[in-house]
A and B are shown apart, each in its own frame.
Chain A
Amino acid sequence: MKFGIVVFPGSNCDKDVQTAARAVGHDADFIWHTDTSVDGFDCLVLPGGFSYGDYLRTAAIARFSPVMEPVARYAASGRPVIGICNGFQVLLEAGLLPGAMLRNTSCKFVCKPQRIRVESTRTPFTRKFRQGQVITLPIAHGDGNYYIDGETLEQMERGGRVVFRYCDESGEPTPESNPNGSLNNIAGICNNAGNVLGMMPHPERAAEGILGGADGRLLLESVAQWVQGGGKIG
């Protein structure tokens, strides 16, 4: 199992993803933003950071990187793609996931451990979690306020495409436990087919107990298990 980590100028979680992938016993290598092929990888990860300085808008410029065309083809072929934090924003800007990110309602950069509820275990990325499981992952972002029009939001909710939700210790997605103002406390979503995941929390920063938590491991182990099992959605 080999993860491919897309590196944009300004990415800063690329090495963390590699370390986390290795911690769960898999290989991971980097793909530079000017590369025009993503062949040879079993799962792509767009890591966090500040691609192109986040100039103009978060991820606005990154989505026009040459590598994004093969990434879109890879996603269209049904293979797994994960966007974390800035990587999630890139997937939104590229139209691989619906919606957009607004400035946090607090206007502050939030950086803290955050409780998250697993809303769907039917995705390749969450199959090893329990439905409704409350996990803790670090968040670190200034623009994580997920927005989408009401009609699409309803479709996504009905279709089980909300994968993670910010919640309190009892698993309730309360307004107080919403760190950024995201609609419906949304922390992560997937596309219709289920093979493209975007999430603001950082699973790679919680992949070893020594880092204060290992809840993120299950995400990488889930997708690895899915790939090794032949990669069928459902």
Chain B
Amino acid sequence: MKYVADIVVTLKRSILDPQGDAVRSALKSMGYTGVQDVRIGKRIEVRLEAADEAECRQTVDEMCAKLLANTVMETYDFSIREAPRE
């Protein structure tokens, strides 16, 4: 089966995000006074083949832990869907 994994990597909540802070103050100065907090992360899309969804999930989790995120400072989350037929 072909799958698409949508992975989002963000800095841990406990860690200051200087880029997010800069964007937050930009939004505020633009008049969006309701903005409370901005966190910036990365979205990574991986297309892969796996026997089934469980195997796909396990593989993606491993990829995140080993390479795509640095768990010292980041957390990750992902969703998996079947790839649309071409």
Contacts and interface: CB of A to CB of B under 8 A. Distances in A.
A100 B70 contact: yes
Contacts of B11: 102
Interface stretch (B14-22, B31-39, B50-58, B77-85): B14-22
Interface residues of A, number: 20
Interface size, B (range): 10 to 19
Nearest to B44: A56
Nearest to A148: B72
Contact residues of B: prevailing secondary structure: mixed
B72 A60 contact: no
Contacts of A92: 72
A147 B67 contact: no
A210 interface: no
Nearest to A57: B70
Interface in A38-88: 56-57, 60-61, 64
Given A100-B73, A102-B11, A102-B73, A60 B19 contact: no
A103 B19 contact: yes
Given A56-B67, A56-B68, A107 B73 contact: no
A147 B22 contact: no
A105 interface: yes
A201 interface: no
Given A56-B67, A61-B67, A92-B72, 14 more contacts: A56-B42, A57-B70, A60-B67, A60-B70, A100-B72, A102-B16, A104-B18, A105-B16, A105-B18, A145-B18, A147-B72, A147-B73, A148-B72, A149-B72
Interface of A: 56-57, 60-61, 64, 92-93, 99-100, 102-107, 145, 147-149, 181
27 contacts: A56-B42, A57-B70, A60-B70, A61-B67, A92-B72, A93-B70, A100-B72, A100-B73, A102-B11, A102-B15, A102-B16, A102-B18, A102-B73, A103-B18, A103-B19, A105-B16, A106-B18, A107-B19, A107-B22, A145-B18, A147-B15, A147-B72, A147-B73, A148-B72, A149-B72, A181-B16, A181-B18
